[in-house]
Amino acid sequence: MVIYVVKQGDSIYSVARSYGVSTAAIIDANGLTNPGRLVIGQALVIPNPAAYTVKSGESLFAISRKFGITQAALQRANPQITDPSRLTVGQVINIPPQPKLGTIYVNGYAFPNIDMTLLQSVLPHLTYLSIFSYQVRPDGSLITINDTALIQAARAANVAPMMVITNIAESGGFSSELANTILNNQAVQNTLLDNVIATLQSKNYFGLDIDFEYVFPRDRQAYNAFLRKVAARIKPMGYTLTTAVAPKTSASQPGLLYEAHDYPVHGEVADHVIIMTYEWGYTFGPAQAVAPLNQVRRVIEYAVTAIPRQKILMGIPNYGYDWTLPFVRGSAARTLSNVQAVEQAARVGANIEFDTTAQSPHYFYYSAGRRHEVWFEDARSIRAKLLLVTQYNLGGISYWTINRAFPQNWTVLDFMYNVRKLI
């Protein structure tokens, strides 16, 4: 796999010809909806051809660099070449497949309203499908969701469906008060667990994902006790337990989002811990990368000291934001998919730039006299994040969410890793 960055004058045809692949292969690998309209700075995934025709001036070393493989690997795949310094124009050589970096767990969050055709295209790339979400009520009952079709589709594709419970209030938004009620009332907890287990059994779920956010710091120990109680009830029944936690860089990090999430306890109790390593750039904040690699790395460097590495699933965002500048506190950015971000860049005539520190693409444009700034994800940023899994020996990754199409992401994932299947 090669990630190519579009330059002035490039076309799908010229790029395909340069790498000896078909235009159809590039269009399919990237899910291009308008291949005749490339954007300067746009990242394209180029699948390696099985065979390549040597062009004028090319050496074995140059070809190995072109396809991101070692010269030694290229030589081994072409034992007929006795003199690597002497290639003939028109000579056809074998391009060996790139070895994968390992086998990982991949979780994808999905809302029940996901397009079923999109879901079917993504399921082969997942270990878990976490369906968002059953909202807990103060009395321990649950607000149910229409999840049957998603569970059935997941199991048919050998993907483990996960029930997700949240402290999202009926009025909307994560509620600290609701979590406080649940975490400090044993009778309510017992009712909640009875309802959770009944749902796990009746809906044929594989396990449970607990996503309690904005828990009062004073409820930290109560939350820990609740997690242990849940584990003691559902694990003997054969269900797996996953938790979602805020992106902390230290055990003592202050803030309502962070303090009640006790990494060591989550790492002890849960089978997997999803770290929500995104939202540095967020709807009501100033323009910046949603998941800048330097910040994500800081979180992971702390996480591996507190949670067993193979239990960690690093969060990856599947969306971007469009901010209107200058930023004014209280103003809201517009959410858009990564595919929409590139399509918009083409429409407004923007060139895509790449921040090497954040390892994230972005661009500027003007609309109605106002300057806009857009940050999103592409093949380069996804590859950089996925490499952290190998660098830190993590268990895998978790996408928030899979409701938006992002074909390029799945192409990159498949080139880099095998996806673990549990059913």
DSSP, collapsed to helix, strand or coil, labels residue 69 as coil
Which residues fall within 8 angstroms of residue 36, CB to CB, at 6 or more apart?
11, 12
Name every residue whose Cβ is closer than 8 Å to that of residue 377 and which is 6 or more positions away in sequence: 290, 291, 316, 317, 318, 319, 320, 338, 360, 361, 406, 409
Q: Which amino acid is at 258?
A: Y
Sign of the dihedral through C-alpha 17, 22, 24, 27: negative
- Residue 381 exposure: Cα atoms within 13 Å on the Cβ side: 30
**φ/ψ (deg, to 5) at 320:** -140, 180
Is residue 259 annotated as a catalytic residue, yes or no?
no
Q: How many CB atoms lie within 10 A of CB 401?
A: 16
Q: Say if CB 118 and CB 405 are below 8 A apart.
A: yes
Give the span between the Cα atoms of 44 and 36, in whole angstroms.
13
**CA distances to 93, 94, 97 from 51, in Å:** 6, 5, 11
Reading phi first (left if > 0) and then psi (alpha if -120 to 50, else beta), residue 5 is in beta
Which residues are within 8 A (CB) of 120 and not within 5 positions of it... i.e. 6 or more apart? 153, 157
Q: Which of 213, 259, 373, 377 is catalytic?
A: 213
Q: How far apart are CA 42 and CA 148, in angstroms?
A: 39
Spatial neighbors of 202 by CB under 8 A, at least 6 apart, are none
Nearest to 35 by CA among 8, 56, 62, 16: 16
Cβ atoms of 154 and 161 within 8 Å: the answer is yes
Rounded to a whole number of angstroms, the distance between the first and last alpha carbons of the chain is 29
Task: Enter the DSSP assignment of 327.
Answer: P
- Return the active site residues: 213
